[in-house]
């Protein structure tokens, strides 16, 4: 370990000690990764993850530790840009409180899109973010329960199909008119969950742009249900 990485490790130990007591071995395991290549020799995003650590569930902590290096390093590259760091930090905190799975799965599968969304919502006031979040939760993309069973999947498909807001393989199956008992439901559910994750991240970013265009004081955001 180079001298610079040793210094970084010592600095991280101090930060961990100041964080919520009894952080356990998982946080130290994560931080030890930040003290070797491909991560930078300066603190960078490690401070962000230490700050968010206590807000994660035990399942979330394990998921973060298992996140691949390239995904974590993408956050590092954004944090090293002063004009993005603060907004990214605030945005990640808001997304974590909004939906832990969206933050962690988005980081693993769509790190660039997730960071863009976080950077966009970061500058919003707490009031504006609260209004936007309430509007998002009423949008059809947020109506599908997590880990839907077969009945819930078909209910979601019925709601989303008129907007063509489904994975292409599901749309192709529905367009073919085949009986639902012939469908590979497990495969479709996995496909839908990944699709919804990507679309939600995209919707958060686009809805924020819509919010920023609202200049009338006190106007409440109402998302267009016909849009993606």
Does residue 214 register a pLDDT over 80? no
Domain end point (choices 60, 94, 123): 123
Q: What percent of the chain has pLDDT over 90?
A: 82
Q: Is 109 helix (H, G, I), strand (E, B) or coil?
A: helix
Examine the domain organization and report whether 7 and 107 are in the same domain: yes
Burial class (CB in 10 A: 0-12, 13-18, 19+), 8: buried
Examine the domain organization and report whether 90 and 180 are in the same domain: no
Burial class (CB in 10 A: 0-12, 13-18, 19+), 197: buried
Examine the domain organization and report whether 129 and 119 are in the same domain: no
Examine the domain organization and report whether 180 and 151 are in the same domain: yes
35 closest CA partner among 60, 61, 69 = 69
- Whole-number Cα distances in Å, 104 to 49, 83, 142, 190, 207: 12, 23, 17, 16, 21
Q: What is the mean pLDDT of the chain?
A: 92
Examine the domain organization and report whether 212 and 141 are in the same domain: yes
Domain end point (choices 101, 123, 145): 123
Examine the domain organization and report whether 130 and 97 are in the same domain: no
The structure tokens 């955001």 sit at: 221
**Full residue range of the structural domain in which residue 102 is found:** 1-123
Two tokens, residue 161: 């199909």
Q: Are 135 and 221 in contact (CB under 8 A)?
A: yes
Does residue 36 register a pLDDT over 70? yes
223 conformational bin, left if phi > 0, alpha if psi -120 to 50, beta if neither: beta
223 closest CA partner among 165, 215, 209 = 209
The pLDDT of residue 215: 42
Q: Give the total number of structural domains in the chain.
A: 2
The pLDDT of residue 70: 97
Examine the domain organization and report whether 144 and 42 are in the same domain: no
Examine the domain organization and report whether 202 and 110 are in the same domain: no
- Give me the mean pLDDT over the 66-70 stretch: 97
Examine the domain organization and report whether 73 and 12 are in the same domain: yes
Examine the domain organization and report whether 104 and 144 are in the same domain: no
Condensed to tens digits (0 to 9), the pLDDT of residues 141-177 reads: 999 999 999 999 999 999 999 999 999 999 999 999 9
Domain end point (choices 123, 149, 179): 123
Q: Helix, strand, coil shares of the chain as percentages rounded to 5?
A: 70, 0, 30
**Nearby residues of 141 by Cβ (< 8 Å), 6 or more positions away:** 165, 196, 199, 200, 203
Examine the domain organization and report whether 180 and 117 are in the same domain: no
Examine the domain organization and report whether 5 and 67 are in the same domain: yes
Q: Are 119 and 88 in contact (CB under 8 A)?
A: yes
The pLDDT of residue 2: 83
């Amino acid at each position: 370990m180079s001298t610079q990485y040793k210094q970084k490790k010592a600095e991280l130990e101090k930060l961990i000690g100041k964080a919520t007591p009894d952080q356990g071995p998982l946080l130290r395991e994560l931080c030890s990764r930040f003290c070797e290549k491909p991560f930078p020799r300066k603190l960078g995003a490690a401070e962000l993850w230490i700050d968010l650590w206590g807000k994660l569930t035990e399942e979330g902590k394990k998921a973060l530790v298992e996140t691949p290096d390239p995904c974590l390093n993408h956050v590092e590259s954004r944090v090293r840009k002063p004009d993005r760091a603060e907004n990214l930090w605030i945005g990640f905190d808001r997304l974590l409180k909004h939906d832990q799975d969206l933050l962690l799965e988005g980081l693993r599968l769509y790190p660039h899109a997730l960071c863009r969304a976080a950077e966009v919502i970061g500058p919003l006031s707490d009031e504006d973010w609260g209004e936007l979040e309430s509007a998002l939760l009423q949008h059809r993309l947020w109506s599908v329960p997590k880990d839907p069973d077969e009945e819930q999947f078909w209910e979601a498909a019925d709601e989303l199909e008129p907007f063509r807001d489904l994975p292409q393989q599901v749309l192709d199956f529905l367009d073919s008119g085949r009986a639902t008992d012939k469908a590979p439901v497990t495969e479709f559910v996995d496909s839908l969950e990944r699709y919804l994750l990507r679309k939600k991240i995209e919707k958060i970013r686009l809805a924020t742009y819509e919010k920023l265009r609202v200049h009338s004081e006190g106007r409440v955001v109402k998302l267009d249900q016909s849009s993606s």
